[in-house]
Amino acid sequence: MRCLSIALFSAFAFSVPAWAKLPPPSDDAKAKAAEAAAKTAHGSKVADYQLCKSMDRVAAKYYASMKAASKSTKPPTETPACADPGPFVAPAAPGAPAAAAAPAAPAAPAAPAKKS
């Protein structure tokens, strides 16, 4: 019982500082957090694009190998085209003009070249 009361007391004593309220983040810290979130979101879009392109390559190789082996396959499932997110553009500052905040529209992706 004594060990239990010591454990409870120490757990309570060490958890009290966690109740302290942190000061609000500064504008600079908020801007850095927003930029980090934007970079993370862009990184996810790039990863999705790379995954989409690799799945297209695998599917193309599969259908080519099945055609070479004279085997029939189901028609491929229609999927949306892979959208290239383009280079990372940092978010505009709150006081920046609206024209600078709008990202440039990415160019339409070119059709992949057919391998012989």
Predicted pLDDT at 76: 86
Element (H, E) at 18: none
110: confidence class by pLDDT, cuts 50, 70, 90: low
What residues contact 85, with CB distance under 8 A and at least 6 apart?
42, 45, 46, 49, 106
Tens digit of pLDDT for each residue in 47-57?
A: 999 999 999 99
Tens digit of pLDDT for each residue in 38-93?
A: 999 999 999 999 999 999 999 999 999 999 999 999 988 898 999 999 999 988 76
| Whether the predicted model's global pTM rises above the 0.75 cut | no
